[in-house]
Structure 1
Amino acid sequence: MIQTFISRRGTDELLLFFAGWGMDTRPFAELNHIGCDCCICYDYTHLDFDASLLAGYKSIEVYAWSFGVWAASVVLPDSRLPIRHATAINGTPCGIDPKRGISPEIFTATLEHLDAASLNKFYRRMCNDRDTLNRFLEILPHRNLESLRNELASIGTGVAQYPAPRFHWDRAIVGNKDRIFPTDNQLRAWAEEHTPVTSIEAAHYLPFRPLVLERRFDKAVIKTRFESAASTYEQEGLIQEQIARHLNEIIPNPPAEGYRHILEIGCGTGKLTRLLVGRFPHARFTLNDLSPRMESHIEQLPFEHLDFVAGDAECTDFGEKYDLVVSASTIQWFTDLDGFLRRISSHLSDSGVIAFSSFIAGNLPEIRNLATTEMPYWEYDDLKRLFERYFQLDIFERQEYTLHFDSPIDLLRHLRDTGVTGTPGNRHKGFNFIKRYRETFGESQESQLTYCPVYIIAHKKKQL
C-alpha cells in the first residue's frame, strides 16, 4: 500500500483517504485544500499499512471509497489511530460478494479480460455520464495496465483471506446510480452492519471534496456567527467594505438595455448591495442570504423591485435568468463550489456577467499559524481553473490588505465582531490565543491580520 501526503500543513487534524482500485493521488487533488493535512492510501497490491507515518495527529477522519472500504476495514482495526469519524463511500467491507459487494463472476471476468478497451469501459461505467467521465480523464491516474492487473489480483487474494473484516464505520454514502458496487448490495451490507446510510444521486465516481466539507462546515454555526456579528459588522468589517467597493468598481458598465435583473449571493448587511442600488437604481434585485435576519438590514434601501430569498445558496433554485450575478466574500464558505457554479451559469443570460470576490489560500496567515485547523481556502490556480470550466474570464486578480491592531485582544475582538473566526469549528480561546500569538510573532503589543481576496469578473461561455 502506498501512503502519500498531498497536503501537509502542520495541523493537528488529518484526513485519511483510502482510494479505490487502480488509483493514485491525481483524482483526489481537490482534497489538498480542505483545511487540514491529507494522506491518500492507494495500490493494494500489498496491505502493508504504516500507522507510524500518522503519529502525532490528535484527530483523524477516515474516508474510503470503492475497494478502499475493504482495505481500510482490514488495516485500521489494529492501528490504534485517534479516529474521530469514518465514512465509507460506494463500497462495502466485504468487497467481493454476490449479495454484499461486487459479484465474484464480474470481478473474475474483469481481471481475466483486463486490457485498454475494457479499462475504458470500466471508466465509463464508473462515471456514468460524459461530463463526469471527461472530468475524470483530465486527472487520470498514472498507472500502467500491469500494475492494475497485479493490484486487482492481490485484492481478490486478499478478500479471500479477509472476507469479513471488522471495523466500525460511522456512516455509509451510497450512490443510487452506482454501476460498479450495485446499490442494493451496498444497502444490504450496511443494513447487516447497522451502519447509518446516506443515499445520494451519484454514480460510483463522484466529487469527494463536497462530501468532506459538509462535515467540516456547519452552516447552522456559520449562520449563527454572522447573525451575532451583524450589529458590529458595519463598523468592524473594514476590509469587507473595501472589497465590496473595489468589486463594484470593476463591474463592467451594462449594455444599452442595462442590467435588468441582478442576483446577489450572500448580501449580508448590504455593504455591496448599497453600492449596486446606487449604480443600477432601476434594476430588479433578487437578494439572497443564509440568514433571514439580514432582510431587515437591506429592506429600507431604495429598491424599485426587491425579492429577498433566505437560505443556503448551494441548495436554492433561483429559477430565473439574471443579467448580473454578484457575490462578495461569501463563496469561500461553499462546500460544493463546482456544483454551484455549474448551476448559476445556467441562470445567467446570454450576455450576462458574474462579479465575485472570495478569499483564497494565504488568507489570515497569522491565524493559520496559531490554529489547530484552518479554513479550506482554494488555491489561486485551482480556483481559476474551476471558474474557467464554466465561464469566460475577464478579470481574475488577487490583492492583499493588512489591518493593524493595538493588541492581540483587539485582533480577537475584530474576529468576533465580523464573524470571521478563521477556521470552521475552531474557537480561539482568548488567553491561549494571545499567548501563542506573542510566542509566534514576538512580544510587541501591535498585531496584524492579512486578508487575501481574489476578484473575478467573467461572462457566459459562448456555445459552440
Structure 2
Amino acid sequence: MTDWHEQSGLPDKRRVAESFSRAAHSYDSVAALQRAVGIELLARLPLQLAPQRWLDLGCGTGHFSRVLAVRFPGAEGVALDLAEGMLRHARPLGGAQRFVAGDAESLPLRDGCCDLLFSSLAVQWCGDFSAVLDEARRVLRPGGMLAFTSLCVGTLQELRDSWQAVDGLVHVNRFRRFADYQQLCADSGLQVLGLERRAQRLHFPDLRELTHELKALGAHNLNPGRPGGLTGRARIRALVEAYEVFRQPEGLPATYQVVYGVLQKPF
C-alpha cells in the first residue's frame, strides 16, 4: 500500500532537516505563531500531569524544552530533532538533559521510557503519521500522554490560491486533511482525549514580509515538484496582485489551520 508520503509528495526528510538546520539562527526571531501554538498546547495538558521523563519531539531551537524543564522540575528531559543544526543551537541553551538526533517515525528510545511526548508544529513534516503514533504508543508508559500540534489542509491557503492564479505550480507546502488526523488517531490504540482544528491568522504589511518569515523559519516551499530556477519579476508582480485580493484592514492575511491533539496510552 502506498503511504501518505508517496501519495502526497511530502518533502523528503533530508531536505526538511537541511532547511531547518539552516534556519536555526533566524527561527526564534520570527516564531511568534509557533510560540503561541505551543503555549496553547501546554495549557491543554492535565494539571495533575507529573512526568518522570518527557520528550520534546521535534524540539527545534529548544524553546519548549526549556519551558517543559520549568513546568516539570525534577523530571528528566530529552530533546529530539531531525535537524542537526537545530540541536547544535539548542544544546548550549539547556532545558533537556539529553539532545538526540532522531526521527519521529523511528525513535531511538526504548519501550515504555517516557511519560510525556510533547511535539509542537513538527509532525506535519512526517510522511507516515501512523508510524509516529505507533512509536508514541511504544515509548510511552501506561497512562503516558502524547500532546501534539500540527498543520492541516487550508494552511497558507491565501498564498496557495494566489500562486494558483499565476501559474498553477506547487509553491506552497502540502499538508494532511484534518479528517486524516481524526482517522489515524482513532486507529492508533491511544485514547483520544482531545483533537480539534483551529484557524490562526497572521497579518503582514506585504508579501515580502510573509515570504521572508517562511524562509527564516525554514518552512518555505520544500515540496518535490516545486518550480526550479529563479522566479521572474513578472510572475512575482502577478503574485503580489493576486494576493492583494485577500488584503484586510490589518494587512495581508496568512491563515494557519492548526491541529491540537492530546492522546493517552491506556493503563
Alignment TM-score > 0.5, same fold: yes
Deviations 1:48-95 (Å, cap 9, x if unpaired)? xxxxxxxxxxxxxxxxxxxxxxxxxxxxxxxxxxxxxxxxxxxxxxxx
Conservation of the 8 A alpha-carbon contact between 1:364 and 1:422: no
Q: Give, in whole Å, the separation in 2 of the partners of 1:267 and 1:331.
A: 11
Deviations 1:374-421 (Å, cap 9, x if unpaired)? 433221122112112121111112212111111111111111111121
**CA pair 407-394 structure 1, distance change in 2 beyond 3 A:** same
For residues 418-433 of structure 1, what are the structure 2 equivalents within 5 Å? Answer: 418-425=217-224, 426=226, 429=231, 431=233, 432-433=235-236
Q: Which runs of 5+ in 2 are unaligned?
A: none
Deviations 1:267-313 (Å, cap 9, x if unpaired)? 0012322221110121111111011222233334454x612111322
Conservation of the 8 A alpha-carbon contact between 1:393 and 1:459: yes
Task: Give runs of ≥4 in structure 1 deviating > 3 Å.
Answer: 210-213, 300-303, 425-431, 440-446
1:358 aligns with 2:150: yes
1:266 aligns with 2:61: no
Q: Give, in whole Å, the separation in 1 of the partners of 2:194 and 2:116.
A: 15
The match for 1:414 is: 213
Aligned-pair CA distance for 1:243: 0.6
SS across alignment from 1:399: strand
SS across alignment from 2:187: helix
Identify which of 88, 103, 108 aligns with 1:312: 103
Conservation of the 8 A alpha-carbon contact between 2:158 and 2:255: yes
Deviations 1:83-119 (Å, cap 9, x if unpaired)? xxxxxxxxxxxxxxxxxxxxxxxxxxxxxxxxxxxxx
**CA pair 438-319 structure 1, distance change in 2 beyond 3 A:** same
1:281 aligns with 2:93: no
Q: What is the total number of aligned residue pairs between the two structures?
A: 253
Amino acid at match of 1:227: S
Conservation of the 8 A alpha-carbon contact between 2:243 and 2:252: no
Conservation of the 8 A alpha-carbon contact between 1:375 and 1:422: yes
Q: Which runs of 5+ in 1 are unaligned?
A: 1-205
Larger Rg: 1
Across the aligned residues of Structure 1 and Structure 2, the Cα RMSD in angstroms comes to 2.4
Question: Structure 1 stretch 321-330 or stretch 223-232: which is displaced more?
Answer: 223-232
For residues 19-98 of structure 1, what are the structure 2 equivalents within 5 Å? Answer: none
Q: Give, in whole Å, the separation in 1 of the partners of 2:127 and 2:246.
A: 38
Aligned-pair CA distance for 1:453: 0.5
Q: Give, in whole Å, the separation in 2 of the partners of 1:339 and 1:279.
A: 28
More RCO (CA 8 Å, sep 6+): 2
Aligned-pair CA distance for 1:450: 0.9
Q: Give, in whole Å, the separation in 2 of the partners of 1:283 and 1:422.
A: 37
The match for 1:368 is: 160
1:437 aligns with 2:216: no
Q: Percent identity?
A: 26
**Under a length normalisation based on structure 2, what TM-score does the superposition of the two structures give?**
0.85
